[in-house]
Structure 1
Amino acid sequence: MADGCEWVNFYGVTCFHNCGSVESAAEEMDMTALEARFGKSNSDPVFHYILSWQSHESPRPEQIYDSVRHTLKALGLSSHQYVSAVHTDTDNLHVHIAVNRVHPKTGYINDLSFSKEKLSRACRELELRHGFSPDNGCWVHAPGNRIVRRTSAERDRLNAWRRGKKQTLKEYIADTAIAGLREKPVSDWLSLHRRLAKDGLYLAVHDGEFMVMDGWERSRAGVALSTFGPSWNGQKLAQKFGEYLPVPQDIFSQVGTPGRYDPDAEVMTERPVRVSETENLHQYACRHFSQRLPELARAGHLESTLAVHHVLAEAGLWLTKQHGHLVICDGYDHNQTPVRADSVWPLLTLTNLESLEGGWQPVPTDIFRQV
């Protein structure tokens, strides 16, 4: 491969590595650690982690390889010895990566500080690059293809959703005003006051600290603005907005009908599903075929593999074999990650298509001209 790594099939398992061979990799890593001048440590020199995809996804080998290399780079281990093995025998395709923390030339050992945070951000970057389904982590997606750090307030809010607790004022502020300010930042004090007022909130100064207060219930204890992240402390805001401008007396009349915090309102008992900004391939395929394919099969219109190919091609999709099962691909955007066909319709499997008239047949090269 271009970067000096090798892609091999080892007893039926796809492996990527940059060692002499898969068989000698463990011995090579041990030798590197033993000879290291600065790698003296009682801890295991080999670091192991797993990258896993959601059950409906079936990434191509080159996407898996890029994911491995990208995460190694994020950890500062791109030039270290490693071996990775792709497992396709479970519901979720995943890859195991074992990498030597000791550099093969310098002998320095990587202590992998903040490895969880680095891997989380790298995974969000890969989701944007390859169109993988977004997952959870300490880094999350934000509008405009941005990746932002999930704050403690957001983590608290997620925990509240999981436990079914009532929403606190802090969580209300994070979910409304702070979320809105992150999506559409403001550039002056008046705009900040107006944005808070839209949700029935206002800013007050107590003992030199900015507090977010409830405009409907002014006796309720406020929340320090700085609890929503270091960018919200008084010094940072003064640098950004200039000298503090007090809240106008008529601020709530400037924003129409303001929102209101209700401490007794019901909150969701489980975490809400994130809706992506654009429809992904799995959502598109399910919308078109999760009901239509069973109906066509019952009507006797799917008697051959070619008939299945024709139906999928009408929606710009095509079917192929990958990792031992069928996957649906986008005929117009080859960068889209293929999705498992049985996640769209459980009967869309290789075994079932082989039982049709003529058995399994690869998609014709001119399928889109045929339809």
Structure 2
Amino acid sequence: MIAEVPPKRRDGKSSFVKLVSYVTVRDDVEMSETLSPEKPFVRKPRSEAAIFNNLVEYATRNPLPGSVDVIATFPDGRQHLRCGDVITETNCFSLATAASEMNMVAMQNTRCKDPVYHVILSWPEAERPTPEQIFDCARHGMNRMGMEGHQYVCAIHDDTDNLHCHLSVNRVNPVSYKAASLYNDRLTLDRCCREMELKYGWQHVNGPYMVNSEGHIVRKRNFYKSAPAAARELEHFSDKESLFSYTVDNCREKLDSLFLQANYNWDDIHNILVSAGLELRQKGQGLAIYDLGDDAQCPVKASSIHPELTLDSQQELIGAFIPASVIREVNRDGKDVLLSTVNIGSQYDNRLHRRDNGARAERRNARAEARQDLIARYKSYKTSFVRPGISADEVRTRFRELSASYRIRKNNVRLNEGDPLLRKLMFRALEVEKMKDMAALRLQLRDERKALRERPDARPLSYRAWVEVQAMQHDAAAISQLRGWAYREKRKNRTATISNNFILYAPADDIKPSQIRGYDTHVNRDGAVVYSSGGKPVLLDRGLFIEVADAPAEKGKNLAMALHISGQKSGEKVEVRGDKSFVQGTMQYIPHFNASSGKTVPLTHPAQRSLAGYDAPKVQQSSPAQSMNTPGRHTPPKPR
């Protein structure tokens, strides 16, 4: 069980309306839905009026407030509500007026600048607590935080891989009007999680507190510090690799081995960091790690990379701090170059994506450039977008045409009517008609402008909607972006699996969909490329792997197409996984496929290469087919 407190506004101007927005206004789309121009991605409005209107729609997953069913009521004012598939608990008068009730109570405390408090309680995939247990955990956390009796709304959501609930609480007490303190709230909530795990017998999740061998809850003393919040947010929302993660991956183990040695100096520490394109500098009373290639990059606290890499502890062991011997010069081409005593093997690049971690450097750079090009194309589209409307020249022309028509009518009266008094009366009548037609034209222009504003093409597409349009055109970078969003959101409503037999590739091995004769190709919202034959999906490319449907009637055609697509991948990793018969049949078919197609399937697993005839089999080696078909290998890995 995990308790997460989402970050709030720094200016202290959070509101219950915005909290309702966070809980109620989400881009709920069916990730397994096929991308289509008829169903573009539309973001819900964020206005306060729309937020209140969408309160019941999202929190209850039902747009009809009249369909709310009261499951149970309690003497203390709590009530359980069922709205569609969602169960909610609140102690407010109604779910639709909860935000207004909280605002009215919060206004009684003028000193509390931010009365909004929001907590997300989440359980591992294997845990399926009952609604009563979930609400009990929410109330227990409120009581430990000193918010017993405060107004709250707790809604259970089961639309992701992990069952979770959103707890929205008013910090201001409805009786005393005093605000509850949030001091060390994350630690308090984490201890509550361990307490509820012991109460209900759930598995223990890593956190600041742990349950020791005697069954007592104690504070965990981690040797390595967790990633800073800014680094975690960067990697989650932007899918970018942070400088912290890069430093940990490239330097932590080497520093750990160095500190175990008896004799080392500052140069040894600098050599490890400089070889990764980093520099250790003194900052204030401590040490910080900087990016050699970009001084504007925010540095990382050295002790967060390794707890022993502090100024005081290292100066006691190896003497006063000595800066790294790195020289910056400008070459003949006017470019900055770095000169050091060790070779710089790699450098941090803030364009690289965390989801691509594990891929080769060349492909990571190529994918980063493709993603940057995708963003640049969207900016160009947004800059050149012309909003449809009625120009001032067109409006002026229409008014002039109306005025000219009345001038012609007046001229006809002047020529045909001889009586001055009757002529003057007819002029006045025409003036009245002109005023009426002018007013009608203004109303007509207003209605036309309103109709233009309501058209789907009246405003530029959002980035997500535009990416979906590009993905429908089989743009590889757009499909990669869709897969990144699906991996981040971890929704359950992804494209359903079609087979347990698949071909595994390197991380984030995304390519442009292939146009295969006899197969219909379409892209879903989660980035899955579906190849259909006879109206049924037979191949499913998720980037990390391709699922191959079992269709004996096709006589190996689907497998041949899967091997053809494998040849277009990066080739860093190609392994066949699944049932024993599928693996053995694929290995027997690969030599025939290579001979007939003139290509070579880039298998990377040694045992499978031997079975396919690529390499000579090794003596006294266990059955490759058996080793590749262990019970734990049949389930495809999660899409990345």
**Considering the TM-score relative to the shorter chain, is it more than 0.5?**
no
Instruction: Name the larger-Rg structure.
Output: 2
Which one has more relative contact order, counting CA pairs under 8 Å at least 6 apart? Answer: 1
Q: Normalised by the size of structure 2, how large is the TM-score?
A: 0.25
Q: Normalised by the size of structure 1, how large is the TM-score?
A: 0.42
